[in-house]
């Protein structure tokens, strides 16, 4: 049992992203900000489970998700959210909803790559899986000081069994939920990328 009385965060994440993937795969409906930001908030505890290496990424991710949760009170869809920033000419401005959406999407991508790496590797260490996912997704956008701090933090990662215990899963159940998230988040990340590219905003900033 975990300290929170048997919560299964991975299962909640997998189910929420399955719902989002169903929406984006149905072609005729835009992704609404409210369910998207709620699903993203379920991912937040994962950064905490990874310890100090992902502390900065976690704090940044949570702040950006909170902004989108707040935005969902007045903005219906991700498309409308981006369009409003385009009209206000604030797309790339620090703190804009669109910029925050891009950062949140990057957090989802990092978790997806991390899960892929965990499934693909054996042994008790998470160092390779965590290093590879960080290098692939976040490192190109982080300055030297942050990259160095993350590198140092990699030595304080939990072991694989420790992570499973924190998530209240065993290897088999975790693998099923992780694979489910990989598949569904791929559809959601692809949808957001297409949204940015269709408005000629680019995704590498």
pLDDT in tens, 146-204: 899 999 999 999 999 999 999 999 999 999 999 999 999 999 999 999 999 999 999 99
Q: What ranges do the domains of the chain cover?
A: 9-195
Q: Which CATH class is domain 9-195?
A: mainly alpha
How far is residue 59's CA from residue 47's CA, in Å, rounded to a whole number? 9
pLDDT in tens, 99-112: 999 999 999 999 99
Closest CA to 16 of 185, 167, 195: 185
How far is residue 134's CA from residue 54's CA, in Å, rounded to a whole number? 9
| CA distances for 148 relative to 34, 61, 158, angstroms | 35, 19, 19
HSE of 88 in the Cβ direction (CA atoms, 13 Å)? 13
Alpha helices (H) along the chain: 9-25, 33-49, 55-71, 78-88, 97-120, 127-137, 144-153, 160-167, 171-198
Q: Do 169 and 75 contact (CB within 8 A), yes or no?
A: no
- Give pTM, 2 decimals: 0.94
Residue 32's φ and ψ, nearest 5 degrees, are: -80, 145
| CA distances for 174 relative to 48, 124, 140, 166, angstroms | 17, 14, 29, 11
pLDDT above 50: residue 3: no
| Predicted local distance difference test score (pLDDT) of residue 6 | 67
pLDDT in tens, 57-70: 899 999 999 999 99
């Amino acid at each position: 049992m975990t300290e929170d009385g048997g919560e299964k965060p991975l299962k909640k994440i997998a189910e929420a992203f399955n719902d989002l993937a169903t929406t984006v795969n149905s072609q005729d409906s835009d992704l609404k900000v409210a369910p998207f930001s709620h699903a993203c908030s379920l991912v937040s505890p994962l950064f905490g489970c990874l310890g100090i290496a992902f502390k900065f990424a976690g704090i940044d991710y949570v702040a950006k998700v909170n902004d989108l949760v707040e935005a969902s009170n007045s903005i219906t869809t991700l498309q409308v959210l981006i369009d409003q920033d385009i009209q206000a000419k604030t797309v790339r401005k620090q703190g804009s909803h669109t910029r925050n959406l891009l950062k949140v999407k990057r957090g989802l991508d990092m978790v997806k790559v991390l899960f892929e790496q965990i499934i693909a590797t054996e042994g008790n260490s998470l160092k390779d899986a965590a290093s590879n996912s960080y290098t692939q997704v976040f490192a190109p956008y982080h300055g030297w000081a942050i990259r160095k701090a993350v590198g140092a933090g990699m030595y304080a990662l939990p072991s694989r069994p420790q992570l499973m215990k924190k998530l209240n899963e065993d290897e088999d159940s975790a693998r099923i939920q992780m694979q489910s998230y990989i598949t569904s988040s791929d559809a959601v990340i692809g949808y957001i990328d297409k949204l940015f590219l269709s408005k000629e905003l680019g995704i590498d900033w």
